[in-house]
Chain A
Amino acid sequence: MLFFIVFAPLLAALLILLGSPARWTALLGAAATTIATVLAFSRYQPGRGGFQFVSSIPISQSWRLHFLLGADGLSLTMLFLAALVLLCAIWFTPPLEKSERLFYVCLLLLADGAIGAFASLDLFFFYAFHELALIPTFLLIGIWGSGNRFGAAWKVTIYLALGGFILLLGLILLYRSVPPALRSFDLRVLQVLATHGGIATNAQNRIFLLLLIGFGILISLFPFHTWAPEAYASAPAPAAMLHAGVLKKFGLYGLLRVALPLLPAGAQHWNTLLVVLLSGNIIYVGLVTLAQKRLDWMLGYSSVMHMGYIFLGLASANFLGLNGAAVLMFAHGISIALLFALAGEIRQRTGTLVLSDLGGLGKVMPFIGLAFGLATFASIGLPGFANFAAEVMIFFGAFRVGADWHGFHLFQIATVLALWGVVISAVYMLRAYRTIFMGERSAAQFRGWNHSPDLAPILRIPVILLLAVTLVVGCYPNSILRVLRPTFSTPVISTNR
């Protein structure tokens, strides 16, 4: 099952290279992957917990390396997100002027990097799969990007490569910190070791810092976030959807899967630093977002800002906060992908994303207006959307930390700041919505309008799909919490406070 999920996009990419029709092959591959993830999701048995659908191929005896696939609730949720966003990104790809084949191949490889990482139980392949996305990102931004695409492509690639290598050092250090007889990259083995205190506190502190910086660069943790807005602004819309929606979640997934459960003492040690940095994400980047004059840059910064909430859930490290973080990863992935897709559609129609040049679009493209409005509400975290459910869990989880403290604990201050962050994000999102869709039509140049400027009916399907998923999860969070819960009730996590 997982084998199919991991290799279907690769297979589709290979077929496209060999000459089958690019768009249909890609769509078919992504659809098959999505269906397979839904099937896996429904066949997962939460009662049994742990990793299911495990399959393993030995690679190297001397390193005890296996190509090991397996999934629990967290990975299944992420796999579903990746497959769904991939499907929508391919669906949203407009007809291209140059090298269409290469575009779809890059898109599929980008998504497959994330999918492979989410499905891997072996840390080596978990890492390697993520880096699969590196060169496709470079090509996608460089060839089909807009604006300062050359600079952005270099920046994102070098940032991610460096972050990746720092992460690699952390993983090797983790591998080496275990007694020789037990050394392995197998996540399950390492988890058992961690529960029995197999990793020294001293080593934990060092490894956790490396992992935090490595993953932090990939997630755009403040102050390593500067690559993200520029990359998303320059990338073609489908690439931005996948990168902001899915690939960035790899880092968070890594923290949830590797750093927190395996290195609880290290997490404790660096918790204060993490809380300070994530407040930077929420408040500083939030204020920067307010000042943006272009929609794509604003969305890029807002996605950086929302990482702060997920970090808050991670840092709280209790059952409620971690579940909230996982749900928010999913919800944010969907809402940001939808926003980038719609922004791409607006750019295609108007030729600009400068906010002051746009206006009154709601009358000419009502469907885009409605969808953008709903996505805006989701992104702010209005009740009924998945983001709300997640943020509420995170806030309660984080506020509870240090509740027995006299006076205000650091976590409570951070939570209060984060709540104000919600206000900031409401301000910029609603303001953008008003400027773009309300008011008078501005004198902006509208190009490429043949008949109706609104979204073509065939393109409405992925929009409705994404909105439906976030609404279902928002109104009935148990739909994914049902499978997520066992992941976070393992003894490893609960010892962590």
Chain B
Amino acid sequence: MIPAPALEIAVLIWGLILLLAEAFADQTDRRGFATAGILGLLAVLVASFFLAPPPGATTTGFWSFYTADPLAIFFKRFALVTTILVLVMALDYAPAIRMGVPGANPHAGLGEFFTVPIFTCAGLMWMASAVDFVMIFVSLELVTMSFYVLVSFTRRNPVTLEAGVKYLILSALSTGFLVYGITWIFGVTGETNLARIGAVMTAQNFDRIPLLFGMALVLVALGFKIAAVPFQIWVPDVYQGAPTPVTAFLSVGSKAAGFVVLLRVLAPFSMLPQIGRLLVGIAALTLIYGNLAALPQTNLKRLLAYSSIAHAGYLLIGVVTFAGTAVAYYLVAYLLMTLLCFAVMVVVGNHAGDQIEDYAGLARRSPFLAFAMLIGMMSLAGVPFTAGFLGKFFIFDAAIRQHQTLLIVVGVITVGCGFYYYLKVIRAMYWLAPSAGAAPVEPSALSRLTMTLLIAAIFVLGVYPQPILDALNLPAGRAAISMTR
């Protein structure tokens, strides 16, 4: 039996070892580091199924800012799977890294590109367990710092540099909002632990205005992380400019962590109706903006950027209705389908580009990649028998249960929009003739295997949701999970 905190420590140590080894390895092939990273994370993933149960409700010491409830364990595994898949993608992306990094050494930069995601993974795992504002802040910063490096990694490319600068400035700004918000909340309640904040709020009669103000500031920072309107401006440029595996990591890992923190942070504040109303507004705006802005896109990465904003909107419906299980399920579906799309994009992007027209006639050039993309797009659009459909199903179910009529109406209309822009990609791949000189593209054996697994997972979770629902419904009477009815 392994104590839960050992997982992050193992990930961190493994990352440090690889980074150190990389510094001394002179001419070895750096791809070994990615493989080592994948294997290490796989080992941790396996270990996460043999965890010792966390001690009972302790509110002091270590366990006052760290929790190992089912939600946390679930998202630790989520972070591990995401990172493993991102590393697989990074292996395919290696040629682009070599071109994008200055220096004569053919291995320059590759080692770091393969090891930094491991630190991000550790940060994401801590975020999943954080129940104290200090812990939330620190783990969030670990994630953000590593993303600063990753986003602007291929620094010869001016678009990437632009993306890096935008991400750095706006992310730092949002961090400022987060800290300022935390101080306001601490100033009112005198606590940083979320459970105790909730207890103070129920016990005492105090001025709600400063508390709401602090919470609004925290929501600004989290809104930035999950790409909710009106904090979404950075998303399209950064997604387009960042190296494709990093874009995938940002859109899945960073977003998922943002939603876990959002679920946890909102738990004590759920009795404040103002926050609920604010979130309904943000969710509706996010849905409308993300879906409408995605309609005219011609660059696939930008399209997925707007679609990730749109999906943040659906996820926010789940947050507003306190449907933790639905949010978690949607995130899993989102992980599978987004990473599948990005995996195809990495392979195709190496040969052609990221414009939708580069995908013209892909069905005839490389049927397998086109099929994988078709499944990814179907799932993103929400066609039944895919995981994406069940995700939307649970979200709409939660909205119906809570009588959120506005969000339901907006949600259904935007689903219709979604079909348009996802089908645009399918149209390019299946209707259009390949442009002259477009060569057939073949994925490597590893990424072919990964894509096959992802496709299988999308279909399995599309008809058989029980494993995920079970993983979230373990008999745990902890405070944070009680809201995931």
Binding site for B on A (CB under 8 A): 59-63, 67, 99, 102, 127-129, 131-132, 134-135, 138-139, 142-143, 150, 153-154, 157-158, 161-162, 165-166, 168-169, 172-173, 175-176
Contact = CB atoms under 8 A, between A and B. Distances in A.
Contact of A138 (B364, B413, B426): B426
B384 A135 contact: no
A176 B383 contact: no
B400 A173 contact: yes
A198 to B, nearest CB: 18
Interface stretch (B167-175, B193-201, B271-279, B460-468): B460-468
Contacts of A153: 427
Contact of B420 (A60, A102, A131, A158): A158
A127 B463 contact: no
Secondary structure class of chain A's binding surface, majority of residues = helix
Sorted nearest first, the 7 A-B pairs with minimum C-beta distance are: A128-B384, A131-B384, A162-B416, A161-B419, A142-B431, A60-B466, A165-B412
B426 A165 contact: no
Interface string B443-485: 0000000000000000000011110010001000000000000
23 contacts: A59-B463, A59-B464, A59-B465, A59-B466, A60-B466, A102-B363, A128-B385, A128-B389, A131-B383, A131-B389, A132-B384, A135-B374, A138-B426, A139-B431, A143-B431, A153-B427, A157-B419, A161-B415, A162-B416, A165-B415, A165-B416, A172-B400, A176-B401
B396 A168 contact: yes
B469 A60 contact: yes
B474 to A, nearest CB: 13
Contacts of B423: 138, 154, 157
B384 A162 contact: no
A139 B378 CA distance: 13
Interface string B389-424: 100010011001100000010001101100110010
A176 B396 CA distance: 12
Q: Which of B400, B419, B463 has the most CB of A within 10 A?
A: B419
B430 interface: yes
Contacts of B384: 127-129, 131-132
Given A99-B363, A169-B396, A135 B408 contact: no
A138 to B, nearest CB: 6
A62 B389 CA distance: 18
B427 A158 contact: no
A169 B400 contact: yes
A135 B376 CA distance: 13
Contacts, number: 85
A214 to B, nearest CB: 10
A143 B428 CA distance: 11
A129 B382 CA distance: 13
Interface of B: 363-364, 374, 378, 381-385, 389, 393, 396-397, 400-401, 408, 412-413, 415-416, 419-420, 423, 426-427, 430-431, 463-466, 469, 473
B385 A132 contact: yes
A60 B465 contact: yes
A279 B332 CA distance: 47
A157 B419 CA distance: 8
B400 A176 contact: yes
Contacts of A138: 423, 426
B385 A158 contact: no
A161 B416 CA distance: 6
Nearest to B462: A128
A62 B426 contact: no
B393 A168 contact: yes
Given A60-B466, A62-B473, A165-B415, A154 B420 contact: yes
A162 B415 CA distance: 7
A38 to B, nearest CB: 28
B412 A162 contact: yes
Contact of A135 (B389, B413, B426, B473): B426
A172 B403 CA distance: 12
Contacts of B383: 131-132, 134-135
Given A135-B378, A135-B426, A158 B400 contact: no
Contacts of A154: 420, 423
B466 A61 contact: yes
Contacts of A135: 374, 378, 383, 426
A362 to B, nearest CB: 37
B302 to A, nearest CB: 21
B412 A166 contact: yes
Given A60-B466, A162-B412, A172-B396, A139 B420 contact: no
A62 B431 contact: no
A169 B399 CA distance: 10
A343 B408 CA distance: 42
B390 to A, nearest CB: 9
Contacts of A61: 466
Contacts of B413: 162
Contacts of B385: 128, 131-132
B429 to A, nearest CB: 10
